[in-house]
């Protein structure tokens, strides 16, 4: 069992030939008593839901509130136009992240990774990596186990709850999990993955949770697109051997401290930020009366 990123990297290198996914599976066997086959089957079900949620969200339908919907398909058409400014891979990740969260807003089935509000980041990065890297089914599952390992440490040492730590704890955690797993999927080391994780969190440190009308739609959907894009950027920096000057465990501890110091108005209460702008208040009144 591991409790820190340092322990995660050290144990993976020492006992599992650098494989964080294998360490995570061994940890799950120890904690749950399930067999390796059962654990991989359960993760396969998660993978199926993730990829299906992308497809479900690629429509022009809107949520019941009308706040979100149709943006994933807009971005898809824009990508296909060939006139984009950003790279195809980055935009595909952003599109897929939007699709998952628009599906969630439409009451579709999503896999909380680590929460429903941040459910777009990991599936978006994974689905894009499948296309970019040609990942096999086993490699896709390894991606998810690796992401889960980093998420486990973050959850145990900081938070994955917007109500407790702001959006840095939701989209920040999700994007850092995805970035670390992406590094490993691309052939990087466990140490490089840890630096990607740290760089994502550092760049989202202090991100508030300010849902308009208290709903997981605005600005949540677009924040997932940003998180998925950042995951790729930080993965590339880590693969280039760029390191976080602050150790990953210290970054996670800083994330916890920032979350604790954050006023309650910025922790999923809809009492601050975008939720209290004139338009945010108007939208709330239109939805709830």
Going from N- to C-terminal start, the domains of the chain cover 16-288
> Are 193 and 183 a contacting pair, CB within 8 Å?
yes
Residue whose tokens read 């067999």: 35
Q: How many angstroms separate the CA atoms of 103 and 59, rounded?
A: 9
Q: Structure tokens of 8? A: 């995660």
pTM beyond 0.85, yes or no: yes
pLDDT above 70 covers what percent of the chain?
A: 100
pLDDT tens-place string over residues 229-286: 999 999 999 999 999 999 999 999 999 999 999 999 999 999 999 999 999 999 999 9
Question: Span 87-107, mean pLDDT?
Answer: 98
Question: Span 74-90, mean pLDDT?
Answer: 98
pLDDT tens-place string over residues 35-73: 999 999 999 999 999 999 999 999 999 999 999 999 999
Question: Span 79-103, mean pLDDT?
Answer: 98
Which is nearest to 255 in space by CA: 156, 179, 189? 156
Q: Structure tokens of 210? A: 């300010």
Q: Which fold has domain 16-288?
A: 2-methylcitrate dehydratase PrpD (1.10.4100)
> Are 186 and 234 a contacting pair, CB within 8 Å?
no
Q: How many angstroms separate the CA atoms of 242 and 226, rounded?
A: 21
pLDDT mean across residues, the chain: 98
Taken as a whole, the chain contains a residue count of 289
Per-residue three-class SS string for the chain: CCCCHHHHHHHHHHHCCCCHHHHHHHHHHHHHCCCHHHHHHHHHHHHHHHHHHHHHHCCCCCCCCCCCCCHHHHHHHHHHHCCCCCCHHHHHHHHHHHHHHHHHHCCCCCCCCCCCCCCCHHHHHHHHHHHHHCCCHHHHHHHHHHHHHHHHHHHHHCCCCHHHHCHHHCHHHHHHHHHHHHHHHCCCCHHHHHHHHHHHHHHHCCCCECCHHHCCCCCHHHHHHHHHHHHHHHHHHHHCCCCCCCCHHHHHHHHHHHHHHCCHHHECCCCCHHHHCHHHHHHHHHHHC
Question: Span 132-151, mean pLDDT?
Answer: 98
Confidence of residue 10 (pLDDT cuts 50, 70, 90): very high
Non-local CB neighbours of 229 within 8 Å, separated by 6+ positions: 90, 93, 94
Residue 289 has pLDDT above 90, yes or no: no
Question: Span 113-125, mean pLDDT?
Answer: 98
């Amino acid at each position: 069992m591991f409790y820190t990123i340092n322990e995660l990297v050290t144990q993976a290198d020492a006992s599992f030939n650098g494989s964080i996914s294998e360490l995570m599976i061994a940890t799950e066997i120890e904690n749950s008593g399930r067999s390796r086959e059962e654990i991989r089957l359960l993760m396969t079900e998660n993978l199926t839901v993730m990829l299906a949620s992308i497809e479900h969200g690629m429509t022009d339908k809107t949520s019941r509130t009308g706040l979100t919907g149709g943006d994933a398909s807009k971005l898809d058409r824009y990508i296909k136009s060939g006139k984009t400014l950003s790279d195809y891979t980055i935009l595909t990740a952003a599109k897929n992240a939007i699709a998952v969260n628009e599906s969630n807003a439409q009451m579709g089935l999503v896999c909380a990774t680590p929460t429903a509000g941040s459910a777009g980041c990991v599936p978006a990065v994974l689905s894009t990596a499948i296309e970019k890297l040609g990942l096999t089914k086993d490699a896709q599952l390894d991606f998810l186990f690796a992401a889960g390992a980093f998420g486990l440490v973050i959850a145990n040492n900081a938070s994955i709850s917007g109500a407790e730590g702001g959006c840095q704890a939701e989209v920040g955690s999700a994007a850092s999990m995805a970035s670390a797993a992406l590094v490993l999927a691309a052939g990087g080391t466990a140490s490089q993955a840890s630096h990607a994780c740290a760089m994502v969190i550092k760049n989202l440190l202090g991100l508030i949770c300010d849902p308009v009308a208290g709903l997981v739609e605005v600005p949540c959907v677009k924040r997932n697109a940003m998180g998925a894009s950042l995951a790729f950027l930080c993965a590339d920096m880590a693969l280039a051997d760029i390191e976080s000057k602050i150790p990953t465990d210290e970054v996670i501890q800083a994330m916890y401290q920032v979350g604790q110091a954050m006023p309650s108005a910025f922790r999923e209460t809809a009492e601050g930020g975008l939720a209290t702008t004139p338009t945010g208040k108007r939208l709330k009144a239109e939805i709830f009366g």
